[in-house]
Structure 1
Amino acid sequence: MTVETTRPKAPLWTRLPVVHQLRQSVGLQRGMLVAGLVITGVFILTAIFAPLLAPYGYSQLRDDSGPFGAQQAPGGAHLLGTTVGGYDVFSRVIWGSQTAITVMVIAIVLSIFAGVALGLVSGYFGGWLDRVLVVICDAVYAFPALLLAIVMGIVISGGRSGLWGGIFAAAISITVVFIPQYFRVIRAETVRIKAEAYVESARVLGASNGRIMFRHVLRNATRTLPLIFTLNASEALLTLAGLGFIGFGIEPSSAAEWGYDLNKSLSDVSSGIWWTSLFPGLAIVLVVLGITLVGESLNDLADPRLRSRRAPGKTSGGGAATSVVLGGTLNAGPGGIGGLEARSPAFDQHQNDDPFEAK
């Protein structure tokens, strides 16, 4: 009699993207993922609730008691001090998270749509279109990312602009840098997937190119995108900070930006005024560290060889019972080969039986 057993289906919340990877992780890998998620979560919550957390506006220079004053030391009404321009450092750091996450989201969304579309079309149809797109993307990819972002920032906004103009200028300049990365990944996956048997079967059954591309190829070609955009998010933040540091960022009266604040604090460092540069720089480092930890952990969990790692203590010690014959088990323990070859009395009796004896 055959007994069929069915495994209970896991709850829906355990199959969510981040929760699923968190349950798969172990040891140091889990610690890295948890640390990255905590830092990234604090960054996102700070950006969302910036109007409630910041005591002053990003461009506010005075309150009811009068002007803030330039380069005031931390303490009192200004928890982290004031900048050389008279802005509150704590408020600028809080509002800067909102600018950073807005630019990152816009840049990554635009990059994904453009890069995935071009990579899918190029890899599926091939021919002269594929060769032209590959040459263009390789040429763009060969340029230094920050230099290309500077050129695009100058072309789009003339180097300086207001809030949304500056945000979109920075986002589009970063998008141009990221499109070749998504293009190359999606194109390589599309070339591999379109040669699979199920794609050929769909083509034989009369499915259109659009149906095959979006129903069969795209679904399987985009599985690595979460790993790419988590790693690119930190690169987008560094590019934005670099643009602001060299003077091609957003006007300080339009939005708070950490790179711009670092640029204005250069002269303070030699004068012993450390708070104007420490806290914006620390914000950049922590956010990049958190996003990078999440991306690297997801990258490890996507590799089956790294995903199956376990602590050494969990793989040593007594062996498990392994079923090798119907109704019996073979106990593999610390005895090694000798333990495997140990004979029971029933086994000796069976060996003494004459195989030719009539039954």
Structure 2
Amino acid sequence: MSTDTVIQPPKRRLRDRLPVVHQVRQSVGLQRGMLVVGLVLTGLFVLVAIFAPLIAPFGFAQLRDLEGPFGSQQPPSAEHLFGTTVGGYDVLSRVLWGAQTALYVIVIAVILSLFAGVLLGLVSGYFGGWLDRVLVVVCDAIYAFPSLLLAIVMAIVISGGQSNLWGGVFAAAISITVVFIPQYFRVIRAETVRIKAEAYVESAKVLGASNGRVMFRHVLRNATRTLPLIFTLNASEAILTLAGLGFLGFGIEPTAAAEWGYDLNKALSDVSSGIWWTALYPGLAIVLVVLGITLVGESLNDLADPRLRGRRRVAQASGEVAETSVVPGGTLIAGPGGLAGLEDGESFDEHGIEVRS
């Protein structure tokens, strides 16, 4: 008499269930390198933004200390590691405080556009009809308009000439939100139109589920796979749009907050005079932050693809010969590394019982 033994899968440790750790463990090769570099750059940006008041040697609008004025266009030195600007501000302090301003704009702009775009796309794709046609026309019109020009117009309308920190931040964030809403709308609407025709959605309707329950429990949960990529790309685009507004003179005044685009604008005349430090460090900050966020977004998009989830297991088991059997009651292990390689460690015995190695 034989007994079937079911091997219980080992419980994953808490640290293995953390989102970032889980994604890093899923990745492999160049993809892992890109994800790690992106996470390091993005994490460094967030930490600098949070602790800018503690690590910045001076205030963002400070022009002098106990020894007197800083001086204009001073080269890098022990007192000012990145030098000073044409206005007499410390470049290092402006760069560090600028990370805080950028984080404010990203959080406000992306969250507002995310909620508004997802909600409009879900309603439009699910109900259709005249509401869908109107929303599509409006969003397509906004999407076809030059984004930076639209942001400039909205910043002028919203700010009303205000130059304080929160007035400038909200003006930039809301102007960027208007630009980003059509992107979330189009993606969620297309996914909603596809998913609402699936059998499980129809079954939920037959069982008497309300439209709200079907929309948010069944449709929305399956329509947001691409949102991490769009979220990260929009975060990087928000930094570029904010820098563009500041560079063109529609950003935040230097006495209200530090902003990288404004500092680049004031450094234009310095570059032709051989004064390189006033433009190098704000520009480098923009490049590194945008690069880090973009690398994270691209890596998360690859890892969210179901076709690529088992790539790590397959890669580790490549070269191994699969064991197969056509004898009734025999083993059935297929593919490089067996089913454990293709199904992330899952295999089944002759009775269909899952066995974990």
TM surpasses 0.5: yes
- Runs (5+) with no aligned partner, structure 2: 337-357
Tell me how far apart the structure 1 counterparts of residues 13 and 335 of structure 2 sit (CA, whole Å). 35
2:54 is equivalent to residue 52 of structure 1: yes
Give, in whole Å, the separation in 2 of the partners of 1:32 and 1:130: 39
What is the aligned partner in structure 1 of residue 96 from structure 2? 94
- Stretches of structure 1 that go unaligned for 5 or more consecutive residues are 334-359
Residues 278-313 of structure 1 deviation map (CA, whole Å, 9 limit, x = unaligned): 000000000001001101111111223444445998
TM-score for both structures, normalised by structure 2: 0.88
Instruction: Specify whether residues 50 and 324 from structure 1 end up closer, same or farther in structure 2 by C-alpha distance, changes over 3 A only.
Output: farther
1:144 aligns with 2:141: no
Using the alignment, how far apart are the partners of 1:9 and 1:330 within structure 2?
24
C-alpha distance in 2 between matches for 1:332 and 1:67:
72
How far off is 1:228 after superposition? Answer: 1.2
> Aligned residue for 1:181?
183
Tell me the equivalent position of 2:353.
none
1:23 corresponds in structure 2 to 25
* Residues 159 and 249, structure 1, Cα contact 8 Å, conserved in 2: no
Give the C-alpha shift of residue 16 in structure 1: 2.8
Mean Cα deviation higher: 198-207 or 237-246: 198-207
Alignment CA distance shift 1:328-1:34 (3 Å): closer
Aligned mates of 1:42, 1:233 — CA distance in 2: 15
Q: Aligned to 1:195, what secondary structure does the other structure show?
A: coil
Structure 2 partner of 1:279: 281
Aligned to 1:301: 303
Q: Please state if 1:227 is matched with 2:218.
A: no
Whichever of the two has the greater Rg, that structure is 1
Q: What's the Cα RMSD here?
A: 2.2
Count of residue correspondences = 333
1:257 maps to: 259
- CA–CA distance in structure 1, aligned partners of residues 122 and 153 of structure 2: 28
**AA paired with 1:30?**
R
The answer to whether the 8 Å contact 1:58/1:95 transfers is: yes
Distance 2:229 2:335 in 1: 40
Q: Is the 8 A contact 1:153 1:159 kept in 2?
A: no
Q: Which residue is 1:218 aligned to?
A: 220
2:17 maps to amino acid: R
Q: 1:128 aligns with which of 127, 130, 138?
A: 130
1:312/1:269 CA distance change after superposition, 3 Å? farther
Deviation at 1:17, TM superposition (A): 2.5
Aligned match of 1:339: none
Is residue 204 of structure 2 the alignment partner of residue 202 of structure 1?
yes
Say whether 1:162 aligns with 2:127. Answer: no
- Tell me if structure 2 keeps the 8 A contact 1:324–1:330: no
Q: CA deviation at 1:69?
A: 0.5
Name the CA shift for 1:330/1:137 in 2 (closer, same or farther; >3 Å): closer
What residue identity is the alignment partner of 1:96? G
What is the CA distance between 1:208 and its match in structure 2? 1.5
Equivalence for 1:117: 119
Q: What is the Cα deviation at residue 145 of structure 1?
A: 1.2
Contact 1:27 1:311 in 2 (8 A): no
Report the residue type matching 1:40 in the other structure.
T
Residues of 1 paired with 2:257 and 2:104: CA distance? 11
Q: In the superposition, relative to structure 1, how do residues 215 and 93 fare at CA in structure 2: closer, same or farther (>3 Å)?
A: same
Provide the identity percentage: 79
The answer to whether the 8 A contact 1:96-1:256 is kept is yes
Q: Equivalents in 2 of 1:240, 1:164: separation in Å?
A: 14
